[in-house]
Amino acid sequence: MTPDATTPGAPPPAPDARHAAARRVRVVLLVLRWLLTLALTLAGLLLVTFVIGRKVPIDPVLAVVGDRASASAYAAARAQLGLDRPLALQFLLYARDVLHGNLGMSLLTSNPVIDDIRRVFPATLELATLSTLIGVLVGVPLGVVAAARHNRWIDHVARFVGLIGNSVPVFWLGMMGLLLFYAKLHWVSGPGRIDPLFDGMVDARTGSLLIDSLIAREWEVFFNALSHIALPAAILGYYSVAYLSRMTRSFMLDQLNHEYITTARAKGVPERRVIWVHAFGNIAVPLLTVIALSYSYLLEGSVLTEIVFAWPGIGSYLTGALLNADMNAVLGSTLVIGATFIALNLLTDALYRVLDPRVR
């Protein structure tokens, strides 16, 4: 029999084992804390959205029966929606359904909200991910180089990019993009996710047309979908580039003024290493936060971009639901967006621990 660590007379556990056990406990506590945060945040989000949704002066019954329905049809629809019950009871019943995985039916689409979200969220996810990729791959290097070449031409370029990105409305830029790249140059396809000819040609496994068409090896569908997403992704990506380059430049300028940079340069460390390893390494954590924020902002759905490009994402779905008091759809979308936001925060927290030993 293996002696138990608590058995009197047994040898004390080795320091490594004690540390490992303590680490396991810390990880478990951390996970529990995250889960509790997640549950409390989602519950709070649900409650606040529910109350606001029920108090807005929009009559959801009108969306169901129309303006001219008889009094009996109106009353029946109201009862069917459960709006004749006390508010607290309505919330409890809704929360019960949510806990059972039922987000209810959408008034506007007559579909289960969960099915609608499965359709619209991947469209937003696809667009936001591509845009963020563009933002990170172009914006971060641009910001770093702009800081390294402070007040030189590349810095002016970065500042100009940031200025335009912060001052030009996305709606206008989207329209101009369509006019130039779709209508004049014919480089990309027009509004929508895919041409009607290809609609429904691939099974929706992930909801992302790019990935689904790749899985199905439907190259024509893939390229058509790519030509549709290219412009909205580039436009949103541009805003991401503007934001990330500005933030990266600012972080880098701050770091480059520190004494450890002067020391490194004095020691003869190559400039590239000073910038990309010493300084950039130290901005990784705040930069990660900024990237996560930018990504989560895009995941909430860029309503104007979705309207200009007729992109059926969660932003326009949520807006339409809000304007028609389709509360199941509003609450379902809010939950998904909230959960995504929390998940991104947790992921960022986890990455902090990887990037910054002081946080471990």
Q: Which of residues 314-333 bind other proteins (CB under 8 A)?
A: 316-317, 320, 323-325
Question: Is the Cβ of residue 2 or residue 151 nearer to other proteins in the bound state?
Answer: 151
- Residue 335 as a binder of other proteins (CB under 8 A): the answer is no
Q: Of residues 134-163, which lie at the interface with other proteins (CB under 8 A)?
A: 134, 137-138, 141-142, 144-145, 148-149, 152, 154
- Residue 230 as a binder of other proteins (CB under 8 A): the answer is yes
- Residue 68 as a binder of other proteins (CB under 8 A): the answer is yes
Question: Is the Cβ of residue 255 or residue 345 nearer to other proteins in the bound state?
Answer: 255
Q: Of residues 186-225, which lie at the interface with other proteins (CB under 8 A)?
A: 186-193, 195-197, 199-200, 223-224
List of residues 6+ apart from 247 with CB closer than 8 A? 143, 286, 287, 290
240: its two tokens: 């991401």
Question: Is the Cβ of residue 34 or residue 276 nearer to other proteins in the bound state?
Answer: 276
Would the CA dihedral through 80, 81, 83, 89 be positive or negative? positive
Using left for φ > 0, alpha for ψ between -120 and 50, and beta otherwise, residue 9 falls in left
- Number of separate helices (H) and strands (E) present in the chain: 16, 0
Q: Of residues 164-183, which lie at the interface with other proteins (CB under 8 A)?
A: 175, 178-179, 182-183
Burial of 212: CB neighbours in 10 Å, binned 0-12, 13-18, 19+: buried
Question: Is the Cβ of residue 56 or residue 293 nearer to other proteins in the bound state?
Answer: 56
Question: Is the Cβ of residue 43 or residue 310 nearer to other proteins in the bound state?
Answer: 310
Q: Report how far residue 123's alpha carbon sits from residue 131's, in angstroms, rounded to the nearest whole number.
A: 12
Shortest reach from residue 228's CB to other proteins, in Å: 9
Cβ neighbours around 58 below 10 Å, total: 14
Q: Are 352 and 346 in contact (CB under 8 A)?
A: no
Shortest reach from residue 68's CB to other proteins, in Å: 5
Question: Is the Cβ of residue 108 or residue 288 nearer to other proteins in the bound state?
Answer: 108
Q: Is 301 helix (H, G, I), strand (E, B) or coil?
A: coil
Shortest reach from residue 223's CB to other proteins, in Å: 5
Query: In terms of Cα–Cα distance, which of 192, 173, 172 is closest to 311?
Result: 192
Burial of 89: CB neighbours in 10 Å, binned 0-12, 13-18, 19+: exposed
Among 30, 38, 42, 63, binds other proteins (CB under 8 A): 63
Kind plus residue range of the DSSP H or E element containing 112: none
Among 56, 284, 344, 355, binds other proteins (CB under 8 A): 56
Shortest reach from residue 85's CB to other proteins, in Å: 19
Cβ neighbours around 189 below 10 Å, total: 20
Question: Is the Cβ of residue 134 or residue 298 nearer to other proteins in the bound state?
Answer: 134
Binding mask 249-278 for other proteins (x = CB under 8 A): ----------------x----xxx--x---
Question: Is the Cβ of residue 61 or residue 342 nearer to other proteins in the bound state?
Answer: 61
Binding-residue total with other proteins (CB under 8 A): 77
Q: Of residues 87-126, which lie at the interface with other proteins (CB under 8 A)?
A: 106-111, 116, 119
Question: Is the Cβ of residue 84 or residue 199 nearer to other proteins in the bound state?
Answer: 199
- Residue 70 as a binder of other proteins (CB under 8 A): the answer is yes
Q: What type of residue sits at position 212?
A: D
Q: Of residues 29-48, which lie at the interface with other proteins (CB under 8 A)?
A: none
Q: Are 148 and 256 in contact (CB under 8 A)?
A: yes
Q: Which residues pair with 105 in a beta bridge?
A: 112
Q: What type of residue sits at position 158?
A: A
Q: Report how far residue 274's alpha carbon sits from residue 281's, in angstroms, rounded to the nearest whole number.
A: 10
